Structure 1
Amino acid sequence: MAPLFQQLAAKYPKASFLKVDVDHCQDTAAAQGVSAMPTFIFYRNKVKIDRLQGADPNGLENKIKQHVGADEGEEPEVVAGHADLTPFITKPQSECLNESDEHPFTHCLSSGGGYLQSDCDEQLIINIEFNQAVKIHSIKVTAPADKGPKNIRLFINQPKTLDFDTAESFTSVQDLE
């Protein structure tokens, strides 16, 4: 895996690749829960976001693509100095009310080509849980003009997912048209 690791480091210059000798850094290995070799741990903004254990060349490159981008020439569509918050979303704790079975909430959290759609009317309530405190700078919604949301109401720090009646009666932090 060592030669592949070096090749991937050259192929994905936006990522930082670090190698730790577990024989010399036993405390670090123990603190990170490394029990098998090789173990690859992925961080973003000093937060552990993923790990891969074992010699799986395709799996390693797929994880790198997932977290860095599919192409070394690919430019992220983010504001300078800001980061995509998708890796900080706790997907099992996030939910959507009125999601369609054919086009569920998970589609809007990935770049796999799917989309989110309501199952009954034009309203959706989306609750996104983050695994750490975040500051939202912008929200990107990609949709055809005639299919995308017309109005978005933002609420923050709610103890539970709002229902439609509560959302209607609460004052939002920001409304977007």
Structure 2
Amino acid sequence: MAKIINSNEFVQNVENTKGVVVVDFFATWCGPCKMLAPIFEGVSNEMGDKVNFFKLDVDEDGRIAQKYGIAAVPTMIIFKDGIPVENLAGFMPKNNIINKVNAHL
């Protein structure tokens, strides 16, 4: 299950973590974000033993969103060893997300 984190947890769980981490930048008012949420959870449940999955509400933690250039939601960023390696903007089917994440394992 993907945990919703705040900016303090972001530094600890994403920027200072070895391995692959996927962060879903979302907003509660965003329709496509609501469509992506169950898919993101499904990918998290399927790949959670190899990859960490987190969600960050851009309205609650805009500083982090600004730091990573999030201009639209939903946007997922794949991090490897704390460094962003790929941005995935907009709604995306489950298989596409899994393929993008697998490319960084």
Instruction: Tell me if TM exceeds 0.5.
Output: yes
Tell me the residue number matched to 2:100.
63
Tell me the residue number matched to 2:80.
44
Deviation string for 1:87-114 (max 9, x for gaps)? Answer: xxxxxxxxxxxxxxxxxxxxxxxxxxxx
Q: Which has the higher contact order (CA 8 A, sep 6+)?
A: 2
Deviation string for 1:141-174 (max 9, x for gaps)? Answer: xxxxxxxxxxxxxxxxxxxxxxxxxxxxxxxxxx
Which protein is bigger by CA-based radius of gyration?
A: 1
Select the structure that is richer in strand.
Answer: 2
Q: Distance in 2 between matches of 1:37 and 1:12?
A: 23
Select the structure that is richer in helix.
Answer: 2
Of all paired residues, the percent bearing the same amino acid is 32
Q: Which amino acid aligns with 2:63?
A: D
TM-score (normalizing by structure 1)? 0.37
Tell me the residue number matched to 1:26.
62
Give the paired residue count.
68
1:54 aligns with 2:101: no
Q: Which amino acid aligns with 2:40?
A: F
Q: Which amino acid aligns with 1:2?
A: A
Displacement over 3 Å in runs of 4+ = none
TM-score (normalizing by structure 2)? 0.60
Once the two structures are TM-superposed, the CA of residue 2 in structure 1 deviates from its matched residue by 0.2
Tell me the residue number matched to 2:39.
4
What 5-or-longer segments of structure 1 have no aligned partner?
69-177
Deviation string for 1:55-105 (max 9, x for gaps)? Answer: 01143222112123xxxxxxxxxxxxxxxxxxxxxxxxxxxxxxxxxxxxx
What 5-or-longer segments of structure 2 have no aligned partner?
1-35
SS, match of residue 7 in structure 1? helix
Q: Which amino acid aligns with 2:99?
A: N
SS, match of residue 52 in structure 2? coil
SS, match of residue 54 in structure 2? coil
